[in-house]
Chain A
Amino acid sequence: MPSKVDLEVRRRGIKLFQEKFGRLVKRILECKPPTLVIPKRTLTNTIYDERRRLLLLGPEKLRRSFLDVNEAKKFAQTTLMAAIIYEALINNEYPTIRDLYYRGKHTIRYRDIHGKIREENTWDEQRESDAVIRDIEVYLGILREELLILSKEKGKVVGNMRIRSGGDIIDLSKMGHGAYAIEPTPDLIEFIDVDAEFVLVVEKDAVFQQLHRYGFWKKYKSILITSAGQPDRATRRFVRRLSEELKLPVYILTDADPYGWYIYSVFKIGSIALSYESERLATPDAKFIGVSMTDIFGDKNKKPWLSPQEAKNYIIKAKDADIKRAKELLSYIWFQSKAWEKEIKIFLNKKAKLEIEALASKGLRFLADTYIPQKIETGDWIL
C-alpha cells in the first residue's frame, strides 16, 4: 500500500496530466489543430533571475503542432510518453527512465505513397525518449521526480534527523559507517523531526566519509550531505527542501577550482542544461564556504589558512582547461559579483587550484574543528 505522501504526489501528477492533455483533447474534439506549447529548452532561452537569484527558462515558447510534418513525430512521441507516465502513476509504479524507454518503444507500420509497407520506431535510442521526458516536465511544469520516475541514487545524507520513506521511519543518525542514499523521489520523503542547526554539503564523497566517521554532524548539530561530484536532481531537491521547509542554512564545501565553483552554482541557482528545474531544485540561499582562493593565499584583510610552505605543497598547477573554464564562469552573470570576480581573478593570477582533501591531510581535526566551524562563525563565505 503506497504511503499517503506517495498517493498525494500521484494524485497531483494525474490531475496535471488530465488538465494539460485534456485541453488538447478538447481542442481536437472541436476540430481545432492540436498544438503543444512548450517553453524552449535552449541556452538562448535561459535567463538569470537576479531578484530570485535563479537560472530560469525564458519566455520563448515552442509550438509543436501535430499538423507540422516536421513536428508530427515529436508530437506523437510526447503523447506516447505522457500516456506511459500517466499509466504508471495510476498503477502505483515507479518506472525508471530506461523503463519508460522500453515501454514506449514499438513499431508503427504504414504504407508510403507508393503503397509500400514501411516501418518506423516510436524511438530508437534512450536519448530520444529522455528528451521527450524533459519536454513533458517543461510542458507540465513539474519534475520527473514528482512524477515518481526513478533514476540512479548518488547523493548521501547523515545527521540528527528522522524521516519517513515508503512507510518506514528512518533515523539518519543511526546509519553506522554508512549513510542514507537520497532516493530519486525526494518528494516522497516526510521530515519527522530534526535536531540540526545547519546543512553541510561536501562535493567529495571521501571527505564526507571522513567527516562522518569523525562525528562532525554530532559535534556541530548538522546534516551532512555529499553529492559525490556533480549533484543529481534528487540531492538538489533534497537540499532545497531542507532549506525551504526546515529553514536550515546550507553551506557548500567544494574543491578550489572552477568545477567546484560550478557545482556550488548548480546547487544555488540551477544548471544551464536543465534550467527549467531550477524553480524546484535550486537553493538560492546556499553559501559557498570554501575552499576559497583567499583561504589559500589570503588578502589585505585576511590571513591565509595555510602557511606559505603548506600552500606550496598542497596547491596544484591549473591546467589550460581550468583557465578556460574560469574565464567562461566570469561571463556568467551570476558570477559577476565582487566576491566571485575577486575569487576568479586570484585563480587566474596564481594559476593554482586546491582539493578539499589537501585540507584534510593538513589534519582532519583542522578541517572539522577549526576551518569549517570558524568560517561559519565568522561568516567567511561567498554568496
Chain B
Amino acid sequence: MIAASVPTVREEFKALSPAQFFARYREIAGFSNPTRALYQAIRELVENALDATDSHGILPSVKIIVRQDSENPSHYVITVEDNGIGIPPQHVPQAFGRVLYSSKYVLRQTRGMFGLGVKAAIIYGQLTTGKPVEVITSQPGLKRIYYFKLRIDLQKNQPIILERGSWRKSRDWHGTIVSITIEGDWSRAKQKIIEYIKRTAVITPYANIVFVAPDGVVLFYKRNIEQLPPPSKEVKPHPHGIDLEFLKTLKENKNFKTVKDLLINSFQGVGEKTAIDVLILSSIDPSISPSKLTERDLVRLAETLKAYKRFRAPKADALSPLGREIIKAGLRRIFEPEFVEAITRRPAAYQGHPFIIEVGIAYGGKVPMSSDDGPILLRYANKIPLLYDEKSDVSWKVVSKSNFDWSQYNVSLPAQLIVLTHICSTKIPFKGVGKESVADVPEIEKELRLALREVARKLRIYLSKKIREEEKKRRIIVLARYIPEVARNLAIIASNGKGDKVDGILLEKLSEIIARRTGADPSEIIMVAKQVEVGV
C-alpha cells in the first residue's frame, strides 16, 4: 500500500533495509530477468493504482503507458496514472524511497504486498538503468499538485530527493502518476502483459483502463458498471490462524498488563472466558505479564490455540469479494457472452483464515473455444489474476472435465465456455513462492465445487431452454420450407384454373396450421415460407 493517510484505512509502517530486502527478494518479487521484470513492474504499479481507487470508493480510471527509451532500446519507461486518493506530499519520499513494513496486527485484503513490490521495481530500475522514479500526486481537497524525482540510497535505505515541486490545481484532479525506467524486453513480455491487462479488466468492469504499448497498440476497456466492490475492513487475526513466530512478536507488545488482556485484545473471537480457558489449558497463569512468558509457554499456547474448538468462526469482514454483478459485468465487458452468471458464496474458513469463493461462468458470444479437458479458466486471488501453473491450481482440479461432469449441464467440451474463480482471503494458500496457483485446501475445493455447480445449473437451464427454442425453430423451418411446394401442388389439383388465388390461400392456411401446432406466430411462418424459393 502506498496510500496511508485516509480516514478509514490506516496502516503502520516500519523501516527495514531495502538493499537487504531486495537482495533477498529480487527473484521472489519477480525481477529475475528483463522479460519478467517488465511484466512484474507493470503489475505492481497497476495493482497499486487499483488499490488507491476502488478500496477508497473511487471508480478507477487507470492509464498505463509503456514507452521504449529512444536512447537505449532495452530501457522502457512505465507510466501508470490513477485517479485515486493520492499520497500526502510529506509521505511521498518515504513511500517511494524507503521500504516500509506494514503492521501484521491488522489484516485486510489488498492486492499489493504491503507496498514492497513497487519499491522492488524502483530499485530494479535504478540498478539496471540508473534512472530515478518520478511521482506526481495530489489528494482530494488539496489545492496543489506535488512533483518528486527520487532515487533510493540503498546503503542507508533513504530517499534522495533529486527534484521536487508543486503547482496549483487548475481542476479538481486527484490521484498519482508514477513513472519508472527499467531494463525490459517488450517483445518477450508482450503476450503475458497483455493477458494480464485483459484479465485485470475482466474483474474491474467498474474501471476505465487504457493501455498504450511501446509498439503503439492501444487497449481500451470502458467502464460498464458504476458499482464498486464493498471495501474490506481491518480485523484482528483469528487464533486458529497464528503460529509460534507470531506469538513471539506479540509478546513484545508492552500495552497490556496481563497475558489474558493481551489475548483478548489481539485476537478476534476471544473474550474473558475463552482467554482464561485457553491459558489454563496451556498451564499459563492468566494474570502474569506477557513479558514473563517463556519460550515453552509460547509453544504450549500456540498448540492450544490451534487445537481449541470453541472459538467463534473467523470474521469475514476483512474480505472484499467482487460480488455477482461485478463479475457478470466484467465477463460481459470482455467476452460479450450470450449467457453469463456469477455467484458469491457465504464466507467460510480454513485453518482459522476466513475466505469467500466467487465463481462466474460465461458461455457463447465472443468467448473463445476451450480445450477438450475443461473450460477456459480465469483464476483470481484477492482480485489479482493468476496467470501461471493453472493445471496445479485447485480451481483447475474443480472445473476440469475429469472432476466435473459438464455433459450433465448440457455442455459438450470443447465449448465456448469460461469459468472465473475468485478466492478472497486474508491468507491465500498459495503453492510455493511463485504465488501463481492455489493449493488443494479441502474447504476451498468444496466451496469452489458448490459455487461451480450453482452457476453451471443456471447455464444448464439456459441451454436446455435454448435447445428447446432452437428445436422449435428448426421444426418451423423444416415444415415451412415445404409450404410453397405443397400449396402450389395442391392448388394445381384443386383450382380448376384459379391456381394463383388458391395457392395463396393454401399458403396462408398451412402457415396458420403450423403456427397453431408449434405455438409460433403465423406471420412469422408466412415470412419463412415466403423466403423459400422453389426452383423450376
Chain A residues lying within 8 Å of B474, measured Cβ to Cβ, are 69, 113
Interface centre among A32, A86, A106, A110 (most CB of B within 10 A): A110
Q: Using A76-B485, A113-B473 as known contacts, say yes or no to A18 and B494 having CB atoms under 8 A apart.
A: yes
Q: How far is the CB of A117 from chain B (nearest CB, A)?
A: 9
Interface contact A31-B535, CB-CB below 8 Å: no
Give the chain A neighbours of B490 by CB distance below 8 A: 21, 24-25, 28, 79, 83
Residues 478-508 of B, flagged 1 when their CB comes within 8 A of A and 0 if not, give: 1111100110111011100000001001100
Q: Are B478 and A32 in contact (CB under 8 A)?
A: no
The answer to the question of B517 belonging to the interface, with a C-beta cut-off of 8 Å to chain A, is yes
A-B contact pairs, 21 of them (CB 8 A): A24-B490, A25-B506, A29-B505, A31-B509, A33-B513, A34-B510, A66-B513, A67-B514, A76-B485, A79-B486, A83-B493, A86-B493, A106-B535, A106-B536, A107-B535, A108-B482, A108-B534, A108-B535, A109-B534, A109-B535, A110-B533
Among candidates A32, A82, A113, A120, residue contacting B489 with C-beta atoms closer than 8 Å: A82
Say if the beta carbon of A139 comes within 8 Å of chain B: no
A75 sits at the interface (CB 8 A): yes
Task: Given contacts A25-B502, A67-B514, A107-B535, list 9 more A-B pairs with CB under 8 A.
Answer: A21-B493, A21-B494, A34-B513, A72-B482, A73-B482, A79-B486, A83-B493, A108-B482, A110-B533
* Least distance between A82 CB and chain B CB atoms (Å): 6
Evaluate contact between A110 and B492: CB separation under 8 angstroms: no
CB distance from B488 to the nearest CB of A (A): 7
The 7 closest A-B pairs by CB, nearest first: A83-B489, A79-B489, A76-B482, A107-B535, A109-B533, A110-B481, A83-B492
Partner of B477 from the list A17, A25, A32, A112 (CB cut-off 8 Å) is: A112
Interface residue? B257 (CB, 8 A): no
A29 to B514, CA, bound (A): 13
Contact between A28 and B477 (Cβ–Cβ < 8 Å)? no
Binding site for A on B (CB under 8 A): 470, 473-475, 477-482, 485-486, 488-490, 492-494, 502, 505-506, 509-510, 512-514, 516-517, 528, 531-536
A28-B510, A106-B536, A109-B533 known; A66-B493 Cβ under 8 A:
no
A320 to B519, CA, bound (A): 60
CB distance from B432 to the nearest CB of A (A): 47
Q: What's the nearest-Cβ distance from chain A to residue B494, in Å?
A: 4
Alpha-carbon distance between A75 and B513 when the two chains are bound, in angstroms = 15
Q: How far is the CB of B519 from chain A (nearest CB, A)?
A: 12
Contact A31 B512 (CB under 8 A): yes
> In whole angstroms, how far apart are the Cα atoms of A332 and B339 in the complex?
63
The DSSP consensus for interface residues of chain B is helix
Q: Nearest residue in B to A18 (C-beta to C-beta)? A: B493
Q: Indicate if A338 sits at the interface (CB-CB under 8 A).
A: no
- Which residues of A have CB within 8 Å of B478? 69, 72
CB distance from B490 to the nearest CB of A (A): 5
Q: Which residues of A contact B486 (CB under 8 A)?
A: 34, 66, 75-76, 79
Distance of B478 from chain A, by nearest CB (Å): 5
Q: Once the chains are docked, how many angstroms separate the CA of A120 from the CA of B481?
A: 10
- The interface of chain A, by Cβ under 8 A from chain B, is 17-18, 21-22, 24-25, 28-29, 31-34, 66-67, 69, 72-73, 75-76, 79-80, 82-83, 86-87, 106-113, 120, 122
How far is A296 from B490 in the complex, measured between Cα atoms in Å? Answer: 59
- With A110-B477, A113-B477 already in contact, the answer to whether A82 and B493 are too (CB < 8 A) is yes
B180 to chain A, nearest CB (A): 51
Enumerate chain A residues within 8 angstroms of B512, measured Cβ to Cβ: 31
Contact check: which of B470, B505, B510, B531 meets A113 at CB < 8 Å? B470
Chain A residues with Cβ below 8 Å from B531 are 110-111
Judge whether A25 and B482 touch: CB under 8 Å: no
**Chain B: CB-nearest residue to A111:** B531
| CB proximity of B143 to chain A, nearest CB, Å | 61
A31 touches B477 (CB 8 A): no
A32 and B534 contact, CB distance less than 8 A: no
| B505 proximity list for chain A (CB < 8 A) | 29
Provide the residues of chain B in CB contact with A66, threshold 8 Å. 479, 482, 486, 510, 513
In the complex, which of the residues B475, B485, B492, B502 contacts A108, with contact meaning CB atoms closer than 8 Å? Answer: B485
Do A25 and B494 touch (CB < 8 A)?
A: yes
CA distance A83 to B517 in the complex (A): 26
Say which residue of A28, A69, A106 sits within 8 Å of B513 (CB atoms).
Answer: A28
Q: How far is the CB of A101 from chain B (nearest CB, A)?
A: 15
Residue from B470, B480, B494, B528 within 8 A of A22 (CB atoms): B494
Q: Which among A17, A67, A87, A120 is the interface contact of B517 at CB below 8 angstroms?
A: A67
Q: By the criterion CB–CB under 8 Å, are B477 and A72 in contact? A: no
Q: How far is the CB of A105 from chain B (nearest CB, A)?
A: 9
Please measure, in the bound complex, the distance between the C-alpha atom of A112 and the C-alpha atom of B478, giving whole angstroms: 9
Once bound together, how far apart are the Cα atoms of A300 and B485, in whole Å?
68
In angstroms, Cα B207 to Cα A82, docked, is 68
B509 touches A80 (CB 8 A): no
CB distance from B24 to the nearest CB of A (A): 60
A25 to B477, CA, bound (A): 22
Chain B residues with CB under 8 Å of A69's CB are 474-475, 478-479
Asked if A108 meets B481 with Cβ closer than 8 Å, knowing A28-B506, A29-B505, the reply is: yes
Instruction: State whether A17 touches B493 (Cβ < 8 A).
Output: yes
B488 x A83 contact (CB < 8 A)? yes
Contacts A67-B517, A106-B535, A109-B532 given; does A28 touch B481 at CB 8 Å: no
